[in-house]
Structure 1
Amino acid sequence: MSFDTKMVDRHTVLAQVNHLMKEVAPQSVQDNPNLSFLEAGIDSMKLMLLVTRLEDQFQVEFQTDHLAPQFLGSPASVTALLLDHYLTV
């Protein structure tokens, strides 16, 4: 399934991030988008799998400096990263 950049909004992107989190680590999905991945139980291997899935889903390639915790720390921070740097139309 590819992502339609015409339908870009925070809610839609966050829903996709949560969906991919559920695929990678079903026990990690929380109602709080600000809960850190570490607190949600996503280890570094699952985080890298999530990054790969995010890149595939949104048809982007994260820059190396965007692989830092401030960008990939929680569903909310990933959503902000995607909207601010990759999904602008």
Structure 2
Amino acid sequence: MSPPLEKVYQLFPDRAFLVTQLAHRSEGFFALCEEYDLAVSALQQLEARGAHAAADLLHMAEYRALIEELKLDLLRELQASEEASKH
């Protein structure tokens, strides 16, 4: 299992096979997976160190917003691939 994909597998456990296929087929999808992995890891690090400074709280909010955007982008890519495979 590719490390950048692990968090995406956790996010979409019922679509793990499709995630793997898309990641191998599409550089753009793989890049989204990498971005998601990095954003989640960065947020986890900030949370783990108990960051309470205003700048840290702002960064945490920014990471949370980015993570939500990436989740939607990943979901759209997965749904588009599922739709394309039906035709």
Question: TM-score, normalization: structure 1?
Answer: 0.28
Question: TM-score, normalization: structure 2?
Answer: 0.28
